[in-house]
Amino acid sequence: MDFLTELAALTGGRAPETEAERRPRVADDVRQIVLARARFRCERCGCDVAAGGCDVHHRRPAGSGGSTDPATHAPANLVLLCVGCHRWIESHRRASVAQGWLVRQAADPALIPVPVYGAGIVYLHRTEPRYLTRQE
């Protein structure tokens, strides 16, 4: 099934109304990898995201032309965040780039470390639910 057919099935045939609805979603299997890696905790502050909701955040934004690159929806580009941390990252973009929570379009997210709560400054594996202490 192609993207437009799938989108029509999900939306009851209506056109997407928001930017988030127009963008391709993170595949369920990739979302599960991110959840397993994070152990259902915000990767920035460590809070239990099951209690207050969570977002799978793209470090290299999908809406900035990166959505055609398969790495955009890969685990190394995704982090699990609580709503408060996601809001902080989006509101403090310069600091977020410096810390690795946001990655510039030209950069490979797998090569940019990020300070994960309880794990230290780590690299995110491209396909598996684990952290790396050095680049692979």
Total-model pTM: 0.78
Q: How many helices (H) and strands (E) does the chain have?
A: 6, 5
What's the pLDDT score for residue 32? 94
Q: Is pLDDT at 52 greater than 80 in this prediction?
A: no
pLDDT band at 6 (very low <50, low <70, confident <90, very high): low
Cβ-proximal residues to 77 (8 Å cutoff; 6+ apart), any chain: 58, 59, 60, 71, 103, 109, 110, 124
Tell me, yes or no, whether 47 lies in a domain: yes
For the chain, what is the domain count? 1
What's the pLDDT score for residue 8? 52
Tell me, yes or no, whether 71 lies in a domain: yes
Q: Is pLDDT at 68 greater than 80 in this prediction?
A: no
Comparing 114 with 8, the larger pLDDT belongs to: 114
* Residues 83, 54, 35, 132, Cα dihedral to 10°: -10
Tell me, yes or no, whether 5 lies in a domain: no
The token duo for 5 is: 């057919």
Q: Which domain holds residue 87?
A: 25-132
